[in-house]
Each structure stands twice: as structure tokens, then as C-alpha cells.
Structure 1
Amino acid sequence: MEPADAMIGCRLRVADFPLSPCKEFVMKLKVALAVSALVSLYSAGAVAAGDAERGKALYATCGACHGQNGEGLEALNAPALAGQEEWYVVRQLKNFKEGIRGSNPKDIYGMQMAPMAQILPTDQAIEDVAAYIRAMGE
């Protein structure tokens, strides 16, 4: 039997070999750099949808509990907001509006916050307030 005959039916695929530690490191590094670039773009406001100037006027009601400068008021158990990331503020306000937060009678402070979130009439208003809150921390 010839050596070539012994190889009939044997096909090797790249997936049959594990990545070398160096190649695995390079792949992980590429993923980390891509994630880092996205975070940097978001932090720089490149993908921010809110308008901080419009959000300033909408924030007036929020300031009654969270402070006019977003510093929070411990007496009301209202946390500081200044500089909070936009995505987080947007998600929390939407959770309050949708009843995901603030609907449990045991959540006293959440129940106080839920009707305040209803004051913001649109998703754009929520985005604008979130942009203003983020800008207060700069």
C-alpha cells in the first residue's frame, strides 16, 4: 500500500487543531480592543441620542429630590445622579415607566419615583434628561 492510499478519506480541518496560545491571545486582544473602542465612542457622545440642553428644562422636576446639581438628597433617600451614564438612566426611567420598578408596595422609594418617570412623555424626553444628567458630571 502506498502512503498516499493510506491518506484517502483523511481530511484535516483547521478546526481539528487547537489555537496556539499566541493566536488565542491575539484573538482575545482584538475583541478587547473592539469593545474598548465602542465604549470610548459611547463615552465621547458619538452615539448619544439625547440633547442635554433640552434635558436641562426637563430635569427641573427631578431636581426637587435629586438636587439641582444632581448631588442627591440623603434625607429623601434620593441618590446622586450627576455624571451617571446615559444608558443606565434611560434604562431605569423606562423600567419605572413600564412598571418593572416601583410597582412593589414594599419598594417605598421606587413607588415614589415611578410617577415622576411618567412625567417624561416620550423616549426622546428620557434620552434628553439622561444626556443632561451625564453632562452634569463633566
Structure 2
Amino acid sequence: MVDRLTSERRSWLMSRVKGKNTSPELKVRRTLHALGFRFRLHRKDLPGNPDIVLPKLMRAVFVHGCFWHRHPGCKKASVPKTRPEFWHQKFANNVERDTRTTVALGAIGWTVVVIWECETKDPDELRRRLVELVGVTKEAAQ
């Protein structure tokens, strides 16, 4: 399939893809806050600058985009038809960096929680998933 956008327009569009404060990340933050959790954002002193940090629980939460971080089995984890060799390398580097970050955080005693973009669509399911992954209820955290 031919790209309908010019390379300049595509470049501009891709430059608008945010790394922080994305809508899936905001949904996770709202849900955690509603569950009674308090957290810090984008701590630069931790490996990988986790999106959300629950310091008391030693949990580092990453909200990953299914496309960029290759969510296994997700239909959003497709590969563009143009320049596939570039994209395969790009995705491999992202996955490798995610693995290194998880290992580095685990080595200093942190538990890594990954929430995928597609898991943020249903609020009830997101709430259940966060309680499951964070591993405690708000009463136990206090």
C-alpha cells in the first residue's frame, strides 16, 4: 500500500507522537488515583524513567504503546509496509531497551508493571488489572 502522505507531512506527523502524558498514561494515572494510590511521575533517578512510580510499594509502572513496544498478539503491533528493515530494527531496539530497563529496576529491588495501551480502553478492566498488577489494595498500601 502506498503512503498517502508526503514524506515531509509524515515526518511532521511522527514528530507529534508524545512520549509523556499520553492519553493511555493519563487514564492509568486517573485510575490509580481513584483507587487511592499516590505516585510520582517520570523519575529520572530510576532506570528507564518510569511513567508512574509508587515509591512506598517499590513499583515502577510503564504505560507502553502497543505499536512502539510490540505488544505480543495485539493487532496494533503491525509493521509498516514501507522500509520494513528500518522498522524491524527500531522495534527490536525498543524491546531490548525495555528488557534492560526491567532487569536494571529489578536489580535495585523495584517491581516493574507494564500496562499496554489496548488495556486502557475499558475502565473496569483497567481498574481490575491495576489492582492485580500493583498487587495490593489501597487499604493495604496505607
* TM-score (structure 1 length as normaliser): 0.26
Q: Whose RCO is larger (CA < 8 A, sep 6+)?
A: 1
Higher percent of residues as strand: 2
Structure exhibiting the larger radius of gyration computed from Cα positions = 1
Structure with greater helix share of residues: 1
The alignment's TM-score, normalised by the length of structure 2, stands at 0.25
